[in-house]
Structures are given as C-alpha cells and as structure tokens.
Amino acid sequence: MSANVKRLVAAGLMLQILLGLTLLVAFLPLGSLKPWIGYGIASAKAALVLWFFMEMREEGGLVRLATVAAFAWLAIMLTLGAADYLSRGWVAAYLNP
C-alpha cells in the first residue's frame, strides 16, 4: 500500500472512532454541554473529510481560501441569527423591568 492509501485508510478509521465517541458522549449525563461536544466532534469529522478526502492538504492558497470563505459566511449567518434570537427579550426586559 502506498503512503497515500495508508493515510486515507487511517483518516477513515479515525472518522469511525469519532462516530463511536460522539454516540457514547450523547448518553453521558453532561446536560447543556452535550450539543457543544456533539457539534465539536462533528466539526472534527468534517475537518478530517476536508483535509484528507477533499485533499485540502495538497491544495494551494486560492482553493483553500474559496473553501474557508464558504464556512466563514456560514459562521456569520449563524452568529447573526443566534444574536437575533438570543437578544429578542432584552429590550422589553430593559424597558419594563
């Protein structure tokens, strides 16, 4: 097996291990931490897929920038969306304490 094939198989194994880990954590009594860990592990899995399977490790700056840009805009959308829903009661609470 070539080094590339070994690297891909290792990444594939790591993905399955992370899947087992995220499933295990979901059953632990961690309360409000659970979604953070769940999405944290999902991000790690997505990073492995992007870096090894989608070959970001071999790409140049322009292609990496195009990829990161998509996620950066997504992060802006999710942050602004969350800011809206989190802060909706604030003005009313300030005016009518």
Partner 1 sequence: MPEQSRAEIQFHHIGRQREAERLGMLVFLASEIMLFGGVFLAALALRMLHPQEYVAAASHMKLWHGTANTAILLTSSLLVALAVEWTRGGRPKWAARCLWAAVALGLTFLGVKAHEYYLDYREGKLPGAANANFSTPFEQLFSNFYFSVTGLHALHVTAGIILLALAALRGEARHDRHAVFIGNVALYWHLVDVFWIFLYPTIYLAGAGE
Residues that bind partner 1 (CB under 8 A): 2, 4-5, 8-9, 11-12, 15-16, 19, 22-23, 26-29, 34-35, 38-39, 41-42, 45-46, 49-50, 52-54, 59-60, 62-63, 66-67, 69-71, 73-74, 77-78, 81-82, 85-86
By C-beta, is 3 or 97 nearer to partner 1? 3
Q: How far is the CB of 77 from partner 1 (least distance, A)?
A: 6
SS (H, E, C) the chain: CCHHHHHHHHHHHHHHHHHHHHHHHHCCCCCCHHHHHHHHHHHHHHHHHHHHHCCHHHCCHHHHHHHHHHHHHHHHHHHHHHHHHHHCCHHHHHHCC
